[in-house]
Amino acid sequence: MGQFLRDEQGAAAIEYSLLITLIGLVMAGGLHLIGLHLVDAFSSVLGGLTPLQVIESKQNSRV
């Protein structure tokens, strides 16, 4: 029983899993914020674009 209580391999595995979980949550939060800014940026670019009007040349209108 004493050897079981002194064994720290399980504690290290739990610490590493908690650290990986924390890193994953920070990354997910950062990507979410970046995604929101990208949506705003693309929306403003799209709002600034004007529709393209196709002008037919005189040669194409004769056919």
Per-residue pLDDT of the chain (63 residues; tens, 9 = 90+): 667 667 677 788 889 999 999 999 999 999 999 988 888 888 888 888 777 666 665 555 555
**Positive or negative CA dihedral for 17, 21, 24, 30?**
negative
Query: What pLDDT is attached to residue 16?
Result: 92
Give the rounded distance of the alpha carbon of 10 from its chain centre: 33
Return the structure tokens found at 36: 């929101």
CA dist 36 and 19 (Å) reads 26
Return the structure tokens found at 3: 């050897």
For residue 40, the surrounding DSSP H or E stretch is helix 9-48
CA dist 8 and 14 (Å) reads 10
Range of the domain at 47: 2-62
